[in-house]
Amino acid sequence: MRLFVALALPAAIKAQLAMLAGGIPGAKWVPPENYHLTLRFIGEVEGWQAQEVDDALANIRARPFELSLRGVGIFEKGGRINTLWVGVEKTEQLGFLQTKVETALQRIGLQPERKRFAPHVTLARTERAAPEKLITFVQAHNLFRAPPVAVEHFTLYSSRLGKDAAVYVPEVEYELA
């Protein structure tokens, strides 16, 4: 099983993000149903590990909070732009939840996340897109704002690689109270 922990986004926000998609030849746009904010990528696990992950996440206690999406940007790897994203405002509550998730998963023996937490929603994979088109897109959309989203739960997803895009299945939702 391939797993990750994320915040789901409401349909209205997904629709707003989907309106940004397009206009960059070579970009591989994420289907709107796959938009999410990853708190922790876990990767491949055995069935027994998936149960341990579920048990660890079920014990997390955090309060509901609001999430604000704003701006667009890019990630680079090896000097090439590989991802186009919508930013997420870092808040104390979001950082608290992400740290709780990371700590819970390390306690059951998962390796620590190597990348620093950079909250975002991926819009497109851009390895084959012209850098100047991506830079123009970022400049044209960098004032993007979405209304605040109430976050009342986080979700454990499984991911299956499909022909055109990965299929993300919400396995368990954990309430924030």
Mean pLDDT of the chain: 96
Residue 174, pLDDT > 90, answer: yes
Average pLDDT over residues 104-115: 96
Residue 142 is given by DSSP the state T
Question: Coil, strand or helix: which one is 14?
Answer: helix
The DSSP-derived string for 90-140 is: --HHHHHHHHHHHHHHHHTTPPPP-SPP--EEEEEE-TTS-HHHHHHHHHH
Active site residues: 36, 120
Q: What is the mean pLDDT of residues 100-108?
A: 98
Mean pLDDT of 14-18: 97
Domain count of the chain?
1
Is residue 82 very low, low, confident or very high in pLDDT (cuts 50, 70, 90)? very high
Instruction: Name the percent of the chain lying above pLDDT 90.
Output: 94
Domain that holds residue 157: 2-175
Give the gyration radius of the chain's Cα atoms: 16
pTM of the complete model: 0.94
Q: Is 53 within 8 Å of 1 (Cβ atoms)? A: no
* pLDDT band at 2; cut points 50, 70, 90: very high
CB 7 within 8 A of CB 39: yes
Report pLDDT for 163.
Answer: 80
Distance CA 141, CA 71 (A): 7
| pLDDT tens string 113-159 | 999 999 999 999 999 999 999 999 999 999 999 999 999 999 999 99
pLDDT at 164: 78
User: What tokens were used for 41?
Assistant: 């990528």
List the CATH number of the domain containing 88. 3.90.1140.10
* Average pLDDT of span 48-56: 96
How high is the pLDDT of residue 33? 95
Residue of 165 and 176 predicted with greater confidence: 176
State residue 145's pLDDT score. Answer: 96
The pLDDT, as a whole number, for residue 3 is 98
Q: What are the backbone dihedrals phi and psi of residue 62, each rounded to the nearest 5 degrees, phi first? A: -155, 155
Q: What mean pLDDT comes out for the span 40-54?
A: 95
Which candidate, 26, 119, 30, 120, places its Cα nearest to that of 80? 26
